[in-house]
Chains A and B, each alone.
Chain A
Amino acid sequence: MVLTGAEIVIRCLQEEKVEYVFGYPGGAVLYIYDALFNQDKVRHVLVRHEQAAVHAADGFARSTEQVGVALVTSGPGATNAVTGIATAYCDSIPMVIISGQVPTAAIGQDAFQEVDTVGITRPCVKHNFLVKDVKDIASTIKKAFYLAKTGRPGPVLVDIPKDVSMHKCEFEYPKEVSMRSYNPVVKGHQGQIRKAVQLLLEAKRPMIYTGGGVVLANASEQLTKLTRMLGYPITNTLMGLGGYPASDRQYLGMPGMHGTYEANMAMHYSDVLLAVGARFDDRVIGDPANFAEEPRKIIHVDIDPSSISKRVKVDVPIVGDLKDVLEEMIRQLEAAPARNNADALGTWWKQVEEWRSRECMKYKNSDEIIKPQFVVQKLWEVTGGNAIITSDVGQHQMWAAQYYRFDKPRRWLNSGGLGTMGVGLPYAMGAQLANPGTQVACVTGEASIQMCIQELSTCKQFRLPLKICNLNNRYLGMVRQWQQLFHGERYSESYMDSLPDFAKLAEAYGHVGFKIEKPSDVEGALRDAFARKDDLVFLDFQIDQTENVYPMVQGGKGLTEMILSAEDL
């Protein structure tokens, strides 16, 4: 069948079973929008800013096992999308971004709305393509989806000049992709896995540390099984929350800068550390030199060889698909002889429980002023722990991660790697569209929410019954906290004056808005909000302005040097 390039683009999306495309039209993509108009399989979500299109597609992908798709025009459309693309790249989210480009003959002529999109996005995509011939569209899109979701996932951009989308050719969607230069490893090395299992069985102070890779690889079931078989303590990073059920006894909470005392101490003093789909990020292990001081054997399982031995030296590297490797570990463990480290393990657990008994997550609640931790706890109760929670960046993000217990993967969506304020609302949009029957709440701050607040309009158009929990402290809270602790309480530009009345603002967009000022009203407001099944409710919680996130490991310090509460200062 002979089709235009634009029609081919849409046919490809149909072939890939894409349900939703998040986008914004413009000159260079007019043919593609025309082709979109003439069909009803692929639905288009018209956002209010291209950054949100990419974030929403990203949130869609994070909350499902699918590839998120965004569509933007050339020039400013593409540059607006860059923050979204970089955000997805830093967290390895599978996405395909289609951007329009000026006609091939105009490329390089400084044409209207021309930017070198492939050049600008090169460092923040897994791969990108400029399609110069209509005959290449189908095979390129096929490759884009394949690259996005295989190996270490990531965003792939396809830049299509306007004339290419207008030209015609015979359409045939390739059945397979073969690229001699791209063959991601799947199976882990048997010998290495055997060594790892051996080490794990001999460990005296074992610890399991897992990250976003477990969620991306859909390997939580395997991880949970393995962890229970071993009976070892486990921690999930900010990106890995829900990889192992948080309400389980073996779970020690999150590690790192705002992690729990017990998770950090157990990481530090372990003699065998099993790292799965995690990358020893600076926010997790603090100063690598300090971390390396304690001798321990590290087993590192990851799909990406370049993640291994990047920040810490690894003793047993295993490259492969996590699901596959964990399954093999389970098989070998089942066949392994009885363990002889039971005594040591008992002693180790005693130590871990002692650390846990410090109750580092305790906070002083108040009858007068709303504590942010209390709001998140109530949110957890009211939703029965079953909601998808999205977040932005700042103190509220940490409180959400600390106090909402995630028992399942793909329930917690946040920008861990790039730390992009503004993702919360569009992530919630993508997640709600992908999971229509599920409660979706966005825990945000009054600064972050304003970075993509225009999307309240999109939410109205698409009837998305989100619950937005704004932990409003009238400060760029996380910035204020650092200024208080490390910059002599000089609060330079971290106070935001002239905030809007968020409840009224939500109403202006056609939604429901509540302003909550008393702790005694928190639960009622949440229940009321979640009872409104069809409404987006904006809950503006006026919280304690000066509450800080604890525990805390200062940047550049070691995991054992934690500030547990304000009293430690």
Chain B
Amino acid sequence: MRHVISLLIENESGALSRVSGLFSARGYNIESLTVAPTEDASMSRMTIVTTGSDDIIEQITKQLNKLVEVVKVVDISEAAHIERELMLTKVRATGKDREEMKRMAEIFRARIIDVTDASYVIELTGNQSKLDAFISALDPALILETVRSGVCGVGRGDRILKV
């Protein structure tokens, strides 16, 4: 089962490698991992998308909690939550493809944020499946490069992860 784990961790050098090292040492999957400081710069927030049986997820959260620098851990996918991911796609945009690309961006409510006479960079935000759908809707031959941020997540309503 896919799970989205959010955690707050002290913003110390090496903190990220403690988390990634834990996953590799114990053979846990990481589908994506994002990290950046929070409004309190002494702390970072990480979102980890992982898969595993209930037992494994239980171990993952326990092991994460055991790391000395980890302040709090929540499996946000246990209840209502929102996930978003950002994708930048550079596509070939010449001739009739130029109009077609614009149309596709509109359908997916994406934005074209860079334009040259031969290419566009399209910015799209959404959950993973929306991003996947956009990619598969494009002609692969026209995709020059894509970059995805990995998933960010937050619980709905009064489910708040804060110290």
Q: Which A residues are within 8 Å of any B CB, using their own CB? A: 118-119, 122-123, 126-127, 130, 147, 179-182, 304-306, 309-310
Contact = CB atoms under 8 A, between A and B. Distances in A.
A145 B9 CA distance: 21
15 contacts: A122-B17, A122-B21, A123-B21, A126-B68, A127-B68, A127-B69, A130-B13, A179-B68, A180-B163, A181-B9, A181-B68, A181-B70, A305-B62, A305-B66, A309-B55
A103 B25 CA distance: 30
A416 to B, nearest CB: 20
Range class of the B interface residue count? 20 to 34
Given A119-B17, A123-B25, A304-B66, A181 B10 contact: yes
Nearest to A132: B13
Contacts of A119: 14, 17
Given A180-B71, A181-B70, A306 B21 contact: no
B46 to A, nearest CB: 13
B146 interface: no
Contacts of A310: 59
B159 interface: no
A460 to B, nearest CB: 40
A168 B35 CA distance: 36
B65 A122 contact: no
Nearest to B62: A306
Contact of A306 (B9, B25, B66, B70): B66
A119 B18 CA distance: 9
A302 to B, nearest CB: 11
Contact of B71 (A127, A181, A306, A309): A181
B132 interface: no
Interface string B2-17: 0000000110011001
Given A306-B59, A306-B62, A309-B58, A181 B69 contact: yes
Interface of B: 9-10, 13-14, 17-18, 21, 25, 55, 58-59, 62-63, 65-66, 68-71, 163
A309 B13 CA distance: 32
A182 B68 contact: yes
A309 B61 CA distance: 13
Nearest to A119: B17
B59 A122 contact: no
A323 to B, nearest CB: 21
A122 B18 contact: yes
Nearest to B8: A181
A179 B18 CA distance: 17
Nearest to A310: B59
A119 B69 CA distance: 15
Nearest to B69: A181
A127 B68 CA distance: 7
A432 B9 CA distance: 42
B54 to A, nearest CB: 10
Contacts of A304: 66
Nearest to A309: B58
A305 B18 CA distance: 19
B65 to A, nearest CB: 7
Contacts of B10: 181
Contacts of A180: 71, 163
Contacts of A118: 14
Q: Which 7 A-B pairs have the closest CB atoms?
A: A306-B62, A127-B68, A181-B71, A305-B62, A182-B68, A123-B25, A306-B63
Contacts of B21: 122-123
A99 to B, nearest CB: 15
Contacts of B14: 118-119, 122, 130
A305 B63 CA distance: 9
Contacts of B18: 122
Given A122-B14, A180-B163, A306-B59, 5 more contacts: A122-B18, A123-B25, A130-B13, A130-B14, A309-B55
A310 B58 CA distance: 9
Contacts of A123: 21, 25
A108 B58 CA distance: 37
A118 B69 CA distance: 15
A465 B82 CA distance: 67
Contacts of B58: 309
Nearest to A128: B14
**Most A Cβ at <10 Å: residue of B59, B63, B68, B71:** B68
A100 B55 CA distance: 41
B57 to A, nearest CB: 12
Contacts of B163: 180
B38 to A, nearest CB: 13
Contacts of B17: 119, 122
From B13, B17, B66, residue with most partner A Cβ within 10 Å: B66
A125 to B, nearest CB: 10
Contacts of B9: 181
A279 to B, nearest CB: 13
Contacts of B71: 180-181
A129 to B, nearest CB: 9
Contacts of B65: 305-306
Contacts of A305: 62, 65-66
B92 to A, nearest CB: 41
A148 to B, nearest CB: 11
Interface centre among A119, A130, A182 (most CB of B within 10 A): A182
A312 to B, nearest CB: 11
A282 B70 CA distance: 29
Contacts of A309: 55, 58
Contacts of A179: 68
Contacts of B25: 123
A181 B68 CA distance: 6
A180 B11 CA distance: 13
Contacts of A127: 68-69
Contacts of B13: 130
A309 B9 CA distance: 25
Contacts of A130: 13-14
